[in-house]
Amino acid sequence: MFEPLFLTDMLLALAAIIAAVVTGGLAGRLARRPAGLRRLRFALYGTATLVVLRLAVAVLILTGGLALADSRLIVQVPLAVLPIAWALMAVRRHDPVMAAHAAAGGVLLSGVWLFIPFDPVIQLIVSVPAVGLSALVGRWRTGGSRLARLPWAAVVYLLAPAVVLGLSYQANVAAAHAGGHHGGSMDWGSGAMPHHAAQARSVDQLTGPRDKTPDARFTLTAARGKVRLGSGREIDALTFNGKAPGPELRVRLGSLVEVTLINTDVEEGVTLHWHGVDVPNAEDGVPGVTQEAVLPGGRHVYRFVPDRPGTFWYHTHRDAAETVERGLFGALIVENPQQAAHQGVEKTVFTHLWPRAEEAIAAFGTADRPSNEAVAAGEPVLLRLINSSEEPHRIHVGGTAYTVTAIDGNPIQGATPLTAGTDLLLAAGGRYDLAFTMPRSTVTLSIDVNEIPNTAALAFSPDGTAPPDTLGMGPLFDPLTYGTAAPAGEDRYDRAFDLRLDDGFGFAMGRFNYVSSSINGRLYPAVPMLMVSAGDRVKVRIANRSLIDHPMHLHGHRIRVLSRNGVPATGSPWWTDTLNVAPGEVFEVAFTAGNPGIWMDHCHNFKHGSEGMVMHLGYAGVTTPYTEDRIPE
Ligand code: C2O
Ligand code: CU
């Protein structure tokens, strides 16, 4: 519901900018030739209509909460409404020039700020003098000297966004020069800064057990290679141990796992990030924060003890927008030795978009064409779905009722069967475990990509020959109300943070970015580091005011969803590590700061990450010897 409103407002703002330019031009002309009053009046009425429409849209957006509407209500609406009201009154009197200039300036800037989501307070601070000045310039131009005839008002209007973009550039470059995370500013949220200095520690000290003998050892060797998809198409890929996706690692809960990463010839460099596993900070695989990227010929050893069973995955974290897409990822399954192993069929299924020059190829793993598999009727089936692509996938499941048994590796309490045909929305980076008993007929999984239905499809049938069914849109599974509630945990929080996600212009790593996704108006590295003390209970509100989905992923912690758009979560506790925040959604989530370090917190659409939608969560006293000379994605 909010996405169309955001879009409408964007179009109205663009129209208002044009109307403001026309109004300003007519006001300037009127100053010299007093004949154009009628035209100016028309222009003002037109502009005022657009302003009223924007006001109406802002009020509708406000129904979704102040977090969605605040920059409109605090800056954009008053900035347009007040001067236009003055101009409408003045136009009935003899000398409307001054007021018309002010109206043009106010409406113009009001529209422009929608596209430059830098600090609203700064927008306001530069706007008020700009509007005042443009009114004075309007009066002065009435004088009619040669000099006065130049378009001074336009210069004044344009100065304001130039100043704000300049500040945005300055903030970004200063943070980049200071080395990214350790030089950027800090945000302690609503809580106090700790009184006593926290124990000083380097990321390098926060390792997994280094002296014990590992229970399981793996080697993952990254190299360039080719991957053949089901259709026969070849992908210029990057592989682990010659495969993409890489080998599935199966480990046991509580065991010491050692993985040696070797990079043969991946020029970008490679790391291993254990997505969803709360490993010690030094094992987290973030280049420039927890280690240097492993360059061709190099190696790196990771050690950690998985503390929760479930479906996880690993992937490289250097230039991930290209390198993960090309294949540097694989499944990591943590088994619980206390629990009987799953009887029946168990299968890990990646939903992936393989890169190709024209258009990405959607696939279940490497199956980019409808494929089928034999599963005997009556068999219990467990599917571990992992979305390794950058887009959320709406997965259709047809032919059987099924149960979602886990989200991001976290078991669901009191999960009940969903009717056949229920769709799942899987966040980029997220996982769902699905269980059902194989019927005598066909079970189909399919995804739509770019509005093309059933782009990739997977069928299970007793004889393995049935083609997948063509599935349409079904009702959407909603974790907010699924399963049985657990007694509410404590709701005392030591600190709270507010994150607003916007589209717009800005600078990331000092480079100008055209329409990218910002956090509180900032792009990496200028997004302040969220600061906590060990043991803090932390609440975070995330409001998406942009036109695209942002799958937000915090490393090293799992978060619990408290509410969505003000509606409290009432199902089984919704624990997640990758939360898809759709346009217009406002989530409240909570976590316990129980894993000291410097942790990435970013959008798992790696394209957005590489454009600056990245920040860090820092613990008091923790420092890193590494430097981010580029975005750590
Ligand atoms: Cu799965 Cu920082 O990523
Ligand atoms: Cu995003």
User: What is the secondary structure of 289-353 as a DSSP string?
Assistant: TTBPPBPTT-EEEEEE---S-EEEEEE--SSHHHHTTTT-EEEEEEE-TTSPPPPSEEEEEEEEE
Structure tokens at 593: 């700061």
Residues 6+ apart with CB under 8 A from 298: 262, 263
- Render pLDDT for 76-95 as a digit per residue (tens, 0 to 9): 999 999 999 999 988 887 67
Q: Which atom of ligand 1 is nearest to the CA of 315?
A: 1
Give me the DSSP letters along 28-86: HHHHH-TTTHHHHHHHHHHHHHHHHHHHHHHHHHHTT-HHHHHHIIIIIHHHHHHHHHH
Residue nearest to atom 1 of ligand 1 (CA): 275
Ligand 1 pocket member 553 (CB < 6 A): yes
Phi, psi angle pair for 507, to nearest 5°: -120, 135
Instruction: Give the model's pLDDT for residue 209.
Output: 94
CA-to-CA distance for 88 and 84, rounded, in angstroms? 6
Q: Residue 605 C-alpha to ligand 1 middle, in angstroms? A: 9
CA-to-CA distance for 579 and 540, rounded, in angstroms? 12
Query: Comparing C-alpha atoms, which of 117, 138, 124 is closest to residue 28?
Result: 138
Ligand approaching nearest to the C-alpha of 502:
2
Instruction: Give the model's pLDDT for residue 341.
Output: 82
**Stated pTM of the model:** 0.94
CA-to-CA distance for 133 and 83, rounded, in angstroms? 13
Which residues of the chain are under the pLDDT cut of 70? 94, 141-150, 179-184, 488-490
CA-to-CA distance for 433 and 411, rounded, in angstroms? 9
CA-to-CA distance for 403 and 419, rounded, in angstroms? 9
CA-to-CA distance for 272 and 314, rounded, in angstroms? 6
CA-to-CA distance for 381 and 383, rounded, in angstroms? 6
User: Quick one: 343-477 is in which CATH superfamily?
Assistant: Cupredoxins -  blue copper proteins (2.60.40.420)
Ligand 1 pocket member 141 (CB < 6 A): no
Q: Residue 529 C-alpha to ligand 2 middle, in angstroms? A: 18
Q: Residue 80 C-alpha to ligand 2 middle, in angstroms? A: 30
Structure tokens at 613: 């939608």
Instruction: Give the model's pLDDT for residue 53.
Output: 97
Is 191 in a helix, a strand, or coil?
coil
Strands (E), 466-585: 495-508, 511-519, 529-532, 537-544, 550-554, 559-564, 567-568, 575-576, 578-581
Ligand 1 pocket member 54 (CB < 6 A): no
CA-to-CA distance for 272 and 293, rounded, in angstroms? 9
Q: Residue 203 C-alpha to ligand 2 middle, in angstroms? A: 27
Q: Residue 13 C-alpha to ligand 2 middle, in angstroms? A: 23
Strand partners, 259: 218, 302
DSSP type of residue 608:
H
Q: Which atom of ligand 1 is nearest to the CA of 286?
A: 2
Ligand approaching nearest to the C-alpha of 542:
2
Q: Which atom of ligand 1 is nearest to the CA of 275?
A: 1
Domain boundaries, the chain: 1-177, 179-201+485-623, 209-339, 343-477
Residue labelled with tokens 């001074």? 152
Structure tokens at 96: 């409307």
Q: Residue 632 C-alpha to ligand 1 middle, in angstroms? A: 10
Ligand 1 pocket member 604 (CB < 6 A): yes
Q: Residue 324 C-alpha to ligand 2 middle, in angstroms? A: 16
Q: Residue 548 C-alpha to ligand 2 middle, in angstroms? A: 7
Q: Which atom of ligand 1 is nearest to the CA of 313?
A: 1
Ligand 1 pocket member 72 (CB < 6 A): no
Q: Residue 553 C-alpha to ligand 1 middle, in angstroms? A: 7
Ligand 1 pocket member 273 (CB < 6 A): yes
CA-to-CA distance for 453 and 468, rounded, in angstroms? 13
CA-to-CA distance for 611 and 502, rounded, in angstroms? 13
Instruction: Give the model's pLDDT for residue 629.
Output: 76
Identical topology for domains 179-201+485-623 and 209-339 = yes
Ligand 1 pocket member 13 (CB < 6 A): no
Ligand 1 pocket member 429 (CB < 6 A): yes
Query: Comparing C-alpha atoms, which of 599, 564, 598 is closest to residue 579?
Result: 564
Distances in Å between the alpha carbon of 417 and those of 407, 414, 458? 15, 10, 21
Instruction: Give the model's pLDDT for residue 70.
Output: 93
Distances in Å between the alpha carbon of 210 and those of 45, 217, 277? 73, 13, 18
Q: Residue 555 C-alpha to ligand 1 middle, in angstroms? A: 7
Ligand 1 pocket member 600 (CB < 6 A): yes
H or E segment to which residue 218 belongs: strand 216-228
Is 454 in a helix, a strand, or coil?
strand
Q: Which atom of ligand 1 is nearest to the CA of 633?
A: 2
Q: Which atom of ligand 1 is nearest to the CA of 609?
A: 2
CA-to-CA distance for 60 and 117, rounded, in angstroms? 20
CA-to-CA distance for 129 and 135, rounded, in angstroms? 10
**Are 121 and 143 in contact, with CB atoms under 8 Å apart?**
no
Instruction: Give the model's pLDDT for residue 507.
Output: 86
- Render pLDDT for 543-555 as a digit per residue (tens, 0 to 9): 999 999 999 999 9
Q: Which atom of ligand 1 is nearest to the CA of 555?
A: 2
Q: 461-484 burial by CB neighbour count: b if 16+ within 10 A, else e?
A: bbeeebebbebeebeebebeebbe
Query: Comparing C-alpha atoms, which of 331, 307, 298, 295 is closest to residue 257?
Result: 307
Cα angle: 197, vertex 200, 205; to 5 degrees: 160
CATH of 209-339, one of 2.60.40.10, 3.40.309.10, 3.40.50.720, 2.60.40.420: 2.60.40.420
CATH of 179-201+485-623, one of 1.20.1370.10, 3.50.50.60, 3.30.750.24, 2.60.40.420: 2.60.40.420
Q: Which atom of ligand 1 is nearest to the CA of 429?
A: 1
Instruction: Give the model's pLDDT for residue 487.
Output: 76
Ligand 1 pocket member 616 (CB < 6 A): no
Phi, psi angle pair for 379, to nearest 5°: -70, 135
